[in-house]
Amino acid sequence: MIFISIHAWCWGFFGHRHINYHAVFLLPPEMLIFYKQNISFITEHAVDPDKRRYAVNAEGPRHYIDLDHYGKAPYADLPRKWKDAVDRFSEDSLNQHGIGPWWVQVMMARLTNAFRGQETSKILRLSAEIGHYLADLHVPLHACSNHNGQHTNQQGIHGFWESRIPELMAEKQWDFFIGHAAYINDPLSYIWDRVVESGAAADTVLLLERALSNRFPPDQKYAYEERNGVIIRQYSSRYSLAYNDALNNMVERRMKMAIYAVACFWYTAWANAGQPSLKALSGPALNEADQKEFAEMNLSWQNGTAKGKTCD
């Protein structure tokens, strides 16, 4: 039996790949052809932003926002626009508590520009990455300072909710027929609505696990079970299924909403760029600089420690 510790990732590598992959099928035909041709790139690079946390200091805060730092839902005192928020709290302080919803706007502008310029490699990289940030913001514990149950003696709950449960259930039991991507008039309020939902659900995520833990036989909470071909000690299947029931399928719902949001943001960026034809674009067409950057990012991810708050 092999006993190793592994990093728990935001939505896990599995979750992020799954979300980007399924988002492709919600696109209109003009986009679908191009995205399907490049689906392995879009899927594989869904996790780049997490890898970058090992190389770039500024990366960490882009993945979350501690909404509880700003009071209670609906967080009326927190300006939704970046400039207003900076005026109110200063950039340093915002960075300290996470800038996820604002960072999505930066990515959205970049993706729209890439469509305008018909820059294949940028379109693909930015599509893969905005998918990551959008997906993170659908996770309740990405909107809460007690992000891994560290203040309530529930360490491990982060990966439990966003990795263990999807890995156990997504492929076999969840269906991802979600409909079609829609145009989003106001991407800023759209993502804020999702983030506020996440923040409001964080207490439920924590309280229900606490209640389940109190009534579950302690020796059955963890078990040696298989993960990615390796046997490791983790939350047992029984405990995971019981938690999923208690949550009334919240993880599946949030994952579906994430898939939908990713497709809608891709579609909206393309529409705002004037719906350029994607027919002529081929392959990821990575240049030497791209290749070098991926290689360096992978190296620091494999060898280093993440900077700032992580999902471990």
Residue 136 in contact with Zn ion, rule: CB under 5 A? yes
Eight-class DSSP state of 163: I
Q: Is 63 in the site for Zn ion (CB under 5 A)?
A: yes
By CB under 5 A, residue 18 contacts Zn ion: no
Contact region with Zn ion (CB under 5 A), list: 63-71, 178-186, 198-206, 296-304? 63-71
Write phi, then psi, for 224 (nearest 5 degrees).
-85, 110
Pick from 13, 8, 63: which is nearest to 43 by CA?
A: 13
Indicate whether 48 belongs to the interface with Zn ion (CB under 5 A): no
Burial class of residue 294, CB neighbours in 10 A (0-12, 13-18, 19+): middle
Compare residues 99 and 278 and give the one whose CB is closer to Zn ion.
99
Query: What is the dihedral angle through the alpha carbons of 77, 78, 79, 83, rounded to the nearest 10 degrees?
Result: 130
Residue 209 beta carbon to Zn ion: minimum distance, rounded to whole angstroms:
21
Q: How far is the CB of 214 from Zn ion (least distance, A)?
A: 30
Round to whole Å and give the CA distance between 310 and 270: 32
22 binds Zn ion (CB under 5 A): no
Cα 34 to Cα 97, 124, 291, distances in angstroms: 37, 10, 21
Residue 130 within binding range of Zn ion, rule CB under 5 A: no
Amino acid occupying residue 193: D
By CB under 5 A, what part of segment 211-230 binds Zn ion?
A: none
Name the one range near Zn ion by CB under 5 A: 10-18, 101-109, 172-180, 281-289.
10-18
Q: How many CB atoms lie within 10 A of CB 172?
A: 6
Token pair recorded at residue 161: 């909710």
Cβ atoms of 173 and 95 within 8 Å: the answer is no
The residue at minimum Cβ distance from Zn ion is 10
Quote the least distance from Cβ 260 to Zn ion, whole Å. Answer: 19
Stretch that binds Zn ion, among 48-56, 209-217, 227-235, 280-288 (CB under 5 A): 48-56
CB-wise, 50 or 66, nearer to Zn ion? 50
Q: Does 10 bind Zn ion (CB under 5 A)?
A: yes
- Select the span of 46-54, 231-239, 278-286, 290-298 touching Zn ion (CB under 5 A): 46-54
167 binds Zn ion (CB under 5 A): no
Which of 63/97 has CB closer to Zn ion? 63
Q: Which DSSP symbol is given to 147?
A: T
| Residues 270, 28 contacting (CB under 8 angstroms) | no
Count of residues near Zn ion by CB under 5 A: 4
Nearest to 192 by CA among 97, 100, 284, 286: 100
Nearer to Zn ion by Cβ, of 100 and 149: the residue is: 100
Closest separation in Å from C-beta 246 to Zn ion: 25
Q: Compute the least distance from the CB of residue 117 to Zn ion, in Å.
A: 27
What is the spatial distance between Cα 136 and Cα 294, in angstroms, rounded to a whole number?
Answer: 21
Minimal distance, residue 136 CB to Zn ion, in Å: 4
Task: Give the span between the Cα atoms of 160 and 9, in whole angstroms.
Answer: 10
Query: Under the rule (CB under 5 A), what is the footprint of Zn ion?
Result: 10, 50, 63, 136
